[in-house]
Amino acid sequence: MNEIETEIETGTQTQAEVSLVVQQLTEAEGEAQAEVFSDILEEAEPGTISILLESLPLDERYDRWQQVAIEARAEVLSLMRADPRLGILKKMPSEEIDLLFSQLSPEDLIDWSDSLPDSMIDRALAQMGERQRRHFELYNQYGENEIGRYADHQMLVLGHLSSVAQGQRFFRRIDLDCNDHLFLVDEEDKYLGTVRRHDLFKQDPDTLLESLIWEDGRSIAADSSLIEAAEAVEHSRELEFPVVDAEGVLIGRVTLRTATALVREHYEAQLMATAGMDEDDDLFAPIMIGARRRAVWLGINLLTAFLASATIGLFENVLSQVVALAVLMPIVASMGGIAGSQSLTLMIRGMAMGQISAGNVMSLLKNELGIGAVNGILWSITVGIVAGWWFNDGVMGVIIGSAILINMAVAAMAGVIIPMVLQKFNQDAALSGSVILTTVTDVVGFFTFLGLATILYL
């Protein structure tokens, strides 16, 4: 039992273990930190080392990076986000960079190249052999959102005239992750079909593999989008799918492991996008770079805020006479914003599943309007009573109640319609949906509230 217990403790670190070493490392400073890190380096996996480096401020990060063994560096950097990786590369002396590039696989370079300046890519290619360079060119034909770019070329491939014995030998000799298929190709490397590992058992060794091609075997087109390819693998019962180019040539495979990573990146990108940020962003971005990236989103938001202000500006007259309006108006805008974001979130999820279409959008609108009306009535009465009592003014209660009811109904509609329109124009509703929605609910909220007040008070 003793043996087993130690086994359980080594290997891939869990998140709790990672947190612990992050704490140990970040709490130490200078020399002490160097010592802690060299202890960690002895046991930690490359993935943990990259997480650790990312959790350090830039100067400490580079000091610790220099402790990482030369032969581990390519893998550690590959497992980092693009921004921190580029930050380290920019500081490295040029001989070290060349050494690093000489350890890089074509797949790694493809991953890196999305964020690498062209001059660096050329330097990396210069360090590669002719065959690797051709591999890079093959993947590099595909765009950043096409699965062909990230296809894995470590797979079991045999000519269609191969025998069961050859297939069995392959599985015995080669120990790949996520490997339960053999792919058959013709003389021109065109994909002919998949043979399942399990179907090789109990066969005569001389049987041709061609006769065992699996009827349900499918391939993925190299120009499929990343998330589409990932979901095909995820929702299958297979561990790997062949990736095939426009001519039918087998160029690689996508595994369930890759699919999981792609799904995770997809969601991370979506979560970061809700704040106008990027999945590659560094926890410790250099201040000027971080500020510049975020400035764009702040600028867009400022334009919408000015729009809301301009709406309020239309009603200076009534505002100057009834100051309570200024006090209460944020409530109207805010209730609409929250209600709208609830509809929007439901829509975005439904669209991600392919569940929304022209055929059911009217029913959805009706349903969301119904929910908006129920909550609108509930909260407009509540706020109306509170506001009326607060300012001892029944008319004020009626005005704010009506404005909230109207704004929440508009919010429900906007939450359904905005993502549909964005989708029509191929825009990502997760990125821009909430800014547009808030603009609508702010403008409508201020306009109805102050407009009603103008009618009833002036």
Sole residue written with tokens 């990396």: 124
Q: Binders of a second copy among 315-354, rule CB under 8 A? A: 316, 319-320, 323-331, 333-335, 338-339, 341-342, 344-346, 348-350, 353-354
* Closest separation in Å from C-beta 170 to a second copy: 12
**272, 381, 417, 456: which one binds a second copy (CB under 8 A):** 272
Distance in angstroms (rounded) separating the CA atoms of residues 132 and 139: 11
Distance in angstroms (rounded) separating the CA atoms of residues 344 and 435: 11
Question: In Å, how far from its chain's centre is CA 122?
Answer: 28
In this complex, which beta carbon is closest to a second copy, that of residue 113 or of residue 439?
Answer: 439
Both tokens of 207, joined, read 């049987």
290 exposure class (CB count in 10 Å sphere: 0-12, 13-18, 19+): middle
Total binding residues for a second copy by CB under 8 A?
135
Note whether 22 binds a second copy by CB under 8 A. yes
Binding segment for a second copy (CB under 8 A), chosen from 4-12, 101-109, 139-147, 157-165, is 4-12
Binding segment for a second copy (CB under 8 A), chosen from 3-11, 88-96, 105-113, 147-155, is 3-11
Binding segment for a second copy (CB under 8 A), chosen from 6-14, 99-107, 113-121, 154-162, is 6-14
Note whether 388 binds a second copy by CB under 8 A. no
Note whether 447 binds a second copy by CB under 8 A. no
In this complex, which beta carbon is closest to a second copy, that of residue 98 or of residue 210?
Answer: 210
112 exposure class (CB count in 10 Å sphere: 0-12, 13-18, 19+): buried
Give strand pairing partners of 195. Answer: 182
How many CB atoms sit inside 10 A of residue 224's CB?
A: 20
Between helix 82-91 and helix 46-54 the angle, nearest 10°, is 80
Q: Build a one-symbol-per-residue string for 143-172: x at contacts with a second copy by CB under 8 A, - elsewhere.
A: -----------------------------x
**141, 161, 218, 247: which one binds a second copy (CB under 8 A):** 218
Both tokens of 8, joined, read 């359980």
Name the phi and psi angles at 57, rounded to 5.
Answer: -60, 160
Instruction: Tell me which residue of 444, 366, 455, 342 sits closest to 403, measured CA to CA.
Output: 444
Alpha-carbon dihedral sign for residues 192, 197, 199, 201: positive
Both tokens of 170, joined, read 């392959």
In this complex, which beta carbon is closest to a second copy, that of residue 41 or of residue 435?
Answer: 435
In this complex, which beta carbon is closest to a second copy, that of residue 290 or of residue 451?
Answer: 290
In this complex, which beta carbon is closest to a second copy, that of residue 58 or of residue 121?
Answer: 58
Instruction: Check: CB of residue 207 under 8 Å from CB of residue 189.
Output: no
Both tokens of 284, joined, read 């410790």
**92, 294, 393, 420: which one binds a second copy (CB under 8 A):** 294
Cα–Cα distances in angstroms (integers) from residue 58 to residues 61, 229, 283, 295, in the given order: 5, 36, 10, 21
Q: Is 268 helix (H, G, I), strand (E, B) or coil?
A: helix
Note whether 122 binds a second copy by CB under 8 A. no
In this complex, which beta carbon is closest to a second copy, that of residue 141 or of residue 320?
Answer: 320
Q: Binders of a second copy among 183-202, rule CB under 8 A? A: 191-193, 198, 201-202
**306, 385, 389, 458: which one binds a second copy (CB under 8 A):** 306
In this complex, which beta carbon is closest to a second copy, that of residue 162 or of residue 375?
Answer: 375
* Closest separation in Å from C-beta 143 to a second copy: 17
Distance in angstroms (rounded) separating the CA atoms of residues 113 and 111: 6
Note whether 129 binds a second copy by CB under 8 A. no
Distance in angstroms (rounded) separating the CA atoms of residues 424 and 422: 5
Binding segment for a second copy (CB under 8 A), chosen from 70-78, 126-134, 154-162, 211-219, is 211-219
**66, 102, 154, 360: which one binds a second copy (CB under 8 A):** 360
In this complex, which beta carbon is closest to a second copy, that of residue 106 or of residue 193?
Answer: 193
Instruction: Check: CB of residue 115 under 8 Å from CB of residue 86.
Output: yes
Instruction: Tell me which residue of 168, 232, 177, 226 sits closest to 200, measured CA to CA.
Output: 168
Instruction: Check: CB of residue 140 under 8 Å from CB of residue 113.
Output: yes
Distance in angstroms (rounded) separating the CA atoms of residues 45 and 84: 18
Note whether 132 binds a second copy by CB under 8 A. no
Q: Build a one-symbol-per-residue string for 222-241: x at contacts with a second copy by CB under 8 A, - elsewhere.
A: --x--xx--xx-xxxx-x--
In this complex, which beta carbon is closest to a second copy, that of residue 89 or of residue 200?
Answer: 200
**379, 401, 419, 441: which one binds a second copy (CB under 8 A):** 379
**67, 132, 257, 457: which one binds a second copy (CB under 8 A):** 257
Note whether 432 binds a second copy by CB under 8 A. no
**254, 442, 444, 454: which one binds a second copy (CB under 8 A):** 442
Note whether 395 binds a second copy by CB under 8 A. no
Note whether 138 binds a second copy by CB under 8 A. no
Sole residue written with tokens 């921004």: 83
Q: Binders of a second copy among 34-63, rule CB under 8 A? A: 47, 51, 54-57
